[in-house]
Amino acid sequence: MKSKLYFEYPNINHTLFDKIVDETKEIGYYNLPDVCVDDVYEKISKFADKKYIVVVGIGGSSLGTYAVYNYLKSVKKITTKLYFLESTDPVVLRSVSKKINFDDAVFLIISKSGTTVETVSIFKYLLSNKPLNKDSYIIISDNGSPLHSLALKNDITYFEIPKNVGGRFSVLSNVGLVPLAMIGVDIKKLLLGAKSVKDEFFSKGEIYNALMNKAFMYAKNSHTYDINCLFGYSESFRGFSSWYVQLWGESLGKKQLNSELHVGLTPVGLIGPTDQHSFLQLIVEGIRDKSVTFIKIKNFDFNTEIPDITIEYLEKMDYINNHNFAELINKQADSIIESLINLGDIPLDIIEIEHICEETIGELFYYYELLTSMVAKLIDVNAYDQPGVEDGKKILRGYFN
């Protein structure tokens, strides 16, 4: 993983690093790359013959898993059918249920609190189709939660979510590792990728410099460039974009800890080249309130060529003949990057990954989790709570009482 910045923040205060080091003693996600996952493989072995894996969870309980699945599905042979039930949308619930053979499925009920309304309501629906039993259900939740108690009483396979790991930072915990291992993802390699970024950052390697510059630039210009665009040049990044939007928005949009000032940075997930034909116009000629990070894949490992065919009336397009699609999509990215550099007033950087695999998505997860924590420290917010969503939950409960 390489990170190239087209800006440099001149006044970096390196005491930020010390604050992050101190936080590793309290916040659990920092140390997830070092966990042993042998028990995961052991406990899921009895479900190996199941043909359908259904993840029941919302937000941080499912977005990370979906990001990895979406990222790897084009390069890995995944024979187990994976479905996600996170929305209370009855249309989606009915549609997915029709695709599942309930007798050949295992349902992963994932909720940190054990009381997430979306998850519990879908759980109730599933129980009406498949009663609770140890061959069809897995529960992933906090130790001591209502779901944990349910698992213990009914001998349901249970995996713990560490108390000090928040939902949106939990993809490298059992929340993501269990369903991903069940569909054949090498979770040891996933953690190895994350560990490589962790080790490089805490030993103050190249990633350290990139992250420090980015964190200070984002924080110190948060009232100018308050919209951060993540422009991934592959359809494989669609899931990761959704994960990033939750991580960035829910972690950084807060009142400051020591004041009543509202602060935050707005995440926008874009996919190239599709969004070259839409959102790019706003970046180029709109208000100068956006920074852009491009993510590129160096080696797609596919060499599909554009055929040497001339189409009548389109002869001027023959310049693309005999080039492969991997070269084309990266040149499309490069052309947009160069055009923004030429403008000179849009902060931008590039993350280039070697190729699509478990290690590189693990790197991206840890890179962005670190960056989020660093920016949160600098803008004086708690990255790990979400008080802004609690009032809506209380009001919803009132509707049904």
Long-range contacts of 332-341 (CB under 8 A, 24+ apart): 332/233, 332/272, 332/273, 332/276, 333/231, 333/233, 333/272, 333/273, 333/294, 333/296, 336/231, 336/272, 336/276, 336/280, 336/294, 337/294, 339/284, 340/283, 340/284, 340/292, 341/6
Q: Which of 369, 10, 401 is nearest to 165 (CA)?
A: 369
Of 200, 250, 359, 363, catalytic = 250
Is 167 in contact with 60 (CB distance < 8 Å)?
A: yes
236: DSSP letter? G
| Rounded Cα gap, residues 212 and 349, in angstroms | 13
Q: What are phi and psi of 373, to 5 degrees?
A: -65, -40
Bridge partners for 255 per DSSP: 262
- Is 355 tagged catalytic? no
Count, residues in the chain:
401
Is 30 in contact with 198 (CB distance < 8 Å)?
A: yes
Q: Which of 355, 365, 27 is nearest to 176 (CA)?
A: 365
Q: What is the DSSP string of 255-268?
A: E-TTSS-EE--EEE
- Is 393 tagged catalytic? yes
- Is 277 tagged catalytic? yes
| Rounded Cα gap, residues 300 and 294, in angstroms | 16
Q: What are phi and psi of 368, to 5 degrees?
A: -75, -30
Alpha helices of 344-389 — where are they, by DSSP H? Answer: 358-379
Of 14, 98, 124, 277, catalytic = 277
Which tokens go with 84? 């996600």
Is 138 in contact with 170 (CB distance < 8 Å)?
A: no
| Rounded Cα gap, residues 132 and 314, in angstroms | 61
Largest CA distance in the chain: 72
Which tokens go with 20? 């992050």
Residues annotated as catalytic (active site), given as ranges: 250, 277, 393
